[in-house]
Amino acid sequence: MTAGGKAGRVVHVLALNTGSSSLKYGLYKVDGDTCEALHTATVDAAPAPAPSDGAGTPSDAPGARSDAAGSSVGARPARDISPSPQNPLDTIVKTHREKNLPAPDAIGHRIVHGGPNIRQHAVIDNALMKHLDEARAFAPLHVPPAVDMVERCFDAFPGVPQVACFDTAFHATLPAVAKTLPLPADLRKGGIERYGFHGLSYESIVRQLGPGIPSRTVVAHLGNGASLCAVLDGRSVDTTMGLTPTGGIVMGTRPGDLDPGVLLYLMRERGYDAGRLEQLVDRESGLKGLSGGTSDMRKLHEMDNDASKLAQDVFVHTARKHIAAMVASLGGIDLLVFTGGIGENDEVTRKAILAGLQWIGDFAVRVIKTEEDEQIARHTWALTR
């Protein structure tokens, strides 16, 4: 991975972790492995605008910006960027001014999916922006708002280099047997494979464990989005999410692995089109669908009805099954790490999951706070210094 390295130049990095409805951000003072948070917060994020034709603007179009190296960066169609409650960067700039914080020397973005051609963290230029436009199809819930945030930053922080940090990068080490989906060759050549996600979170866990990381480690990132990763000697060798962040274990509003015949049935018998299916699998399923209303595990613990109990039981059941699958990929387990919102804070769910894994035998269990945003800051320092 890119993060880390020798100290030598202090850089103030604005790390942006854009979700579909919120923006988590932090300003970090970075010098090598030292990463100090000066300010962190979460604000509402503006919804990404729908693309007009998907083509974007050519890199040689009038108005294309240039980075420090002289390459045109982020040329996009003109749009209204006037201050508004919908632009979270207005809030960030105002807050930093009020707190007398230093201006960012570089900006790092969490990008969930880079598509089939971009599997490493990289400085954003026009060529990368083209790949990001193409990657929208692979993660339509996550990539569009992140790309829109990159565009907004070009306007709000002219001349400041930006870096894309991909959740898929950590899983670039997946062996063919783990990343290959059982589909015809012509489809696989088009980029349909297992990519894996939550890579920045997994990177942060591996970094925190350090050189002494046990050989066979399973990391469970459990939150509104949830996945598992089999880490062999610090490298990803298997993971639960696939082509998109929808597969794997049950999540807040996503079903995880689902018989594809269910989707065919809904198309054939219920008249569902792609848009309706996308709404179903991204926003209406998982804990929310099972409970009949909420995706918040804390609220499910407080509720006392059959639906909430079923939602919790299904979550625990699928988490156990997939942990066992990761153990099989590793040929055993030395350490299980819980991280993410549920993994770090929900002792009830952790204990329930562990209660069903006693047959495996002895292994260590740790709870470690994920540091996705710090990883973004470190990568951005390394790629722009």
Stronger pLDDT, 53 or 193, i.e. the higher one: 193
Instruction: Name the packing angle between helices 88-98 and 143-156 (round to 10°).
Output: 50
**Rg for the chain, CA atoms, rounded:** 21
- Quick check: 246 pLDDT over 60? yes
Task: Among 3.30.1490.20, 2.40.50.140, 3.30.420.40, 3.40.50.1400, name the CATH number for the domain at 11-166.
Answer: 3.30.420.40
From residue 90, how far is each of 81, 104, 384 by CA, in Å?
10, 15, 24
**pLDDT band, very low/low/confident/very high, at 80 (cuts 50, 70, 90):** very low
Residues with active-site annotation: 167
Nearest CA to 113 out of 95, 99, 96, 133 is that of 133
Burial annotation 200-233 (CB, 10 A radius, 16+ → b, else e): bbbbbbbbbbeeebbebbbbbbbbbbbbbbbbbe
Q: What digits encode the pLDDT tens for the residues 106-135?
A: 999 999 999 998 999 999 999 999 999 989
Residue ranges per structural domain of the chain: 11-166, 211-372
Q: What digits encode the pLDDT tens for the residues 281-312?
A: 999 999 999 999 999 999 999 999 999 999 99
CATH of domain 211-372: 3.30.420.40
Q: Of 15-29, 257-271, 339-353, give the lowest mean pLDDT range.
A: 15-29
Mean per-residue pLDDT for 154-167?
Answer: 96
- Report how far residue 16's alpha carbon sits from residue 20's, in angstroms, rounded to the nearest whole number: 13
- Quick check: 43 pLDDT over 50? yes
